[in-house]
Amino acid sequence: MRRFLTMSGSATVAAALFVVLLAVADPVAPVVLKTTEFGRGPTVVLLHALGSGRMVWMPTAKKLLAGHRVVLVDLPGHGDSALPDPFSLEACAEALDQVLARQKPDSTVLVAHGFGGLIALQEVKSHPDRVKGLMVIDAATRSTMKVPEQQQRFFFQALDTRYEDVLKMMMTRQGRDTTQGLEIYAQAQLVPPATIKAYLKAAMNVDASGTLKDMKPAFLFVGSARLWPDTTAWATVAKQLGYEEAGPIATRRIKDSAALIMKDQPDSLAAVIGEFAARAIAAKK
């Protein structure tokens, strides 16, 4: 009996110690995002779209080098950046925050394309003092796919059973033409399917439009001609992308461009980024 009590007591102590260790253990650290950094001057952090990679920005980044420090970032699960486990858009934003935390907040702007814009909005909501300005390109504040909740499981099933078909349909339609659409699709094929699926599932019911109200950093929406044709009013685009309740926001449209706007119009895009960065950084808090 004494031996049984001793063993039971030891087991109890061990169990209690394990619980204590769990309680004081450090939280799961954010994944480390891969970056490419060069240049000097005010910092411009460039974040790509879903299914792309940081080097897609190079044509525009080269145009910014004369007066800026440029930081190219791989989204979580893309290129050389790991996917958070468990996955969430908040975890992606926290990973981005580790990059921004290394920059000088008073001279840094964040430029995010497509799905990267949704991650950027999450980050600015949680850490509004990290940057002086946020510029998004063709970025929605919520899913543009209107799929009722009761039907979403069918979409997810299709995503699992017909992944390549769904991916090709999504990516090729973003191009300026068929050739560019296939280029975008080929790039997306290099990203693990688990990454694409995780983002799409997480974003299905997210709405970040409220972040725009009383946003502390300066904000600019830039639209490509593919997403925002010159025959379409901003009010129509705003409603489609979830900006209709944000109130007046600054917008720019770049002609002759599509999802690869940073390659289609590097000079025009770099000029817009440079002007925005100068204005945002010069503004008083």
Question: 285 falls in which pLDDT band (50, 70, 90)?
Answer: low
Residue 58 confidence (pLDDT): 98
Whether 13 shows a pLDDT value over 80: the answer reads no
Mean pLDDT of 239-255: 92
Whether 181 shows a pLDDT value over 90: the answer reads yes
CB atoms within 10 A of CB 117: 26
Whether 284 shows a pLDDT value over 90: the answer reads no
List Cα–Cα distances, 30 to 25, 73, 81, 92, in angstroms: 15, 15, 11, 8
- Residue-averaged pLDDT of the chain: 89
Residue 155 confidence (pLDDT): 84
Whether 4 shows a pLDDT value over 50: the answer reads no
Q: Tell me the pLDDT tens digit for each residue of 34-77.
A: 999 999 999 999 999 999 999 999 999 999 999 999 999 999 99
Q: Tell me the pLDDT tens digit for each residue of 79-135.
A: 999 999 999 999 999 999 999 999 999 999 999 999 999 999 999 999 999 999 999
Residue 11 confidence (pLDDT): 46
Q: Which two tokens stand for residue 182?
A: 């296939």
Residue type, 214: D
3-state DSSP assignment of residue 188:
helix
Whether 12 shows a pLDDT value over 60: the answer reads no
DSSP at 54: G
Question: 21 falls in which pLDDT band (50, 70, 90)?
Answer: very low
Whether 213 shows a pLDDT value over 90: the answer reads no
Strand order in the sheet with 133-137: 35-39, 69-73, 43-47, 108-113, 133-137, 218-224, 250-254
Q: Which two tokens stand for residue 70?
A: 């440029």
The residues, ordered by sequence, that sit 6+ positions from 181 with a Cβ below 8 Å of its Cβ are 171, 172, 173, 174, 175
> 280 with 133: CB under 8 angstroms?
yes
> 118 with 208: CB under 8 angstroms?
yes
DSSP for 84-133 reads PSS--HHHHHHHHHHHHTTS-GGGEEEEEETHHHHHHHHHHHH-TTS-SE
Mean pLDDT of 3-24: 43
Question: 29 falls in which pLDDT band (50, 70, 90)?
Answer: confident
Whether 192 shows a pLDDT value over 90: the answer reads yes
Handedness of CA 127, 131, 132, 135 (dihedral sign): negative
Q: Which of 3-12, 54-63, 258-267 has the lowest mean pLDDT?
A: 3-12
Task: Give the angle 28-29-30 at the CA atoms, nearest 5°.
Answer: 120
Whether 239 shows a pLDDT value over 50: the answer reads yes
| pTM score | 0.88
Continuous H helices in the chain = 2-24, 58-64, 89-100, 115-126, 149-161, 163-172, 178-189, 193-203, 234-241, 261-264, 266-282
Beta bridge partners of 110: 45, 134
Task: Give the angle 69-72-75 at the CA atoms, nearest 5°.
Answer: 150
Q: Which two tokens stand for residue 44?
A: 């411009």
Residue 48 confidence (pLDDT): 98
3-state DSSP assignment of residue 65:
coil
Residue 143 confidence (pLDDT): 78
HSE-up of residue 274 (Cα within 13 Å, Cβ side): 17
